[in-house]
Amino acid sequence: YQVMCAEVKMTFPTAGFVSIYWAINNLKNKVYIDEFDFFLTPNRYTQREFRHKQYWGARHNPLAEKGIIQDYVERNLIEWYQK
């Protein structure tokens, strides 16, 4: 976990990001993600707004995670299906 945090320069990545990072570094197959939105839209089931986008500096940084995921897409490490 500490190695990943140092590599991506984040102190508290989300569980979703950690899962994606683990998969691209430990699985031999390409990773596919679907509708991963970094807490920037309401929950699709409850329509609840997430507070993460209001407190980026305090814990999670969804914009930093999104940039890293986009880099993984450009490097052809993952396929990201979005609406």
Q: What is the pLDDT of residue 73?
A: 92
Residue closest to 38 by CA, chosen among 11, 59, 66: 66
Note whether 13 and 52 are within 8 A (CB).
Answer: no
pTM of the model: 0.74
pLDDT digits (tens, 9 = 90+) for 47-73: 666 655 555 555 778 888 889 999 999
For residue 82 the two structure tokens come to 């979005």
| 56 vs 27, higher pLDDT | 27
